[in-house]
């Protein structure tokens, strides 16, 4: 008899993952790219339709009228402090997200980070430390 796997859906911040240390064998991500794409604003289009069709099944995921934007990791230049403040916020939060990947990844686990934008190369060149004890080599997926 086949084992049935039940899928669970979570909404969480990439900087505060709801999993214990050393939990995953692999983590793959496609991080945001500074202010290149306003993901949460684009997501609003789909969110309202998903809320209508799935809101009863996952009320905790659709509790707001539009997508939550307060924890979005982007570098909007129209916010207080302009471009430089947005850039600093983006890089600090991306670093936190990578630290979370490091934390939940098993010691011999692997990770993949998709990059597709020239601005992202600047972050990579800064050699953001992923863990306090050093960095774990993370492979990149390029498309």
Which burial class, exposed, middle or buried, applies to 15 when counting CB atoms under 10 A from its CB (0-12, 13-18, 19+)?
A: middle
Q: What is the pLDDT of residue 141?
A: 39
The mean pLDDT value for 124-136 works out to: 44
More confidently predicted of 21 and 87: 21
The answer to whether 15 touches 71, Cβ cutoff 8 Å, is: yes
What is the pLDDT at residue 44? 92
Element at 103 (helix H, strand E): helix 82-104
How do residues 72-125 score in pLDDT, each as one tens digit?
Answer: 888 877 778 888 888 888 889 888 998 998 999 999 888 887 766 555 455 444
């Amino acid at each position: 008899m086949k084992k049935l796997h039940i899928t669970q859906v979570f909404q969480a911040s990439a900087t505060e993952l709801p999993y214990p240390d050393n939990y995953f064998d692999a983590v793959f991500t496609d991080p945001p790219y500074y202010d290149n794409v306003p993901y949460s604003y684009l997501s609003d289009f789909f969110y309202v339709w998903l809320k209508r069709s799935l809101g009863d099944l996952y009320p905790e995921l659709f509790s707001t009228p539009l997508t939550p934007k307060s924890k979005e990791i982007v570098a909007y230049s129209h916010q207080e402090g302009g471009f430089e403040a947005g850039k600093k916020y983006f890089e600090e939060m991306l670093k936190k997200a990578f630290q979370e990947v490091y934390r939940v990844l098993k010691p011999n686990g692997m990770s993949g980070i998709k990059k597709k934008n020239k601005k992202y190369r600047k972050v990579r060149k800064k050699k953001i430390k992923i863990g306090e004890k050093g960095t774990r080599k993370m492979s990149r997926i390029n498309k």
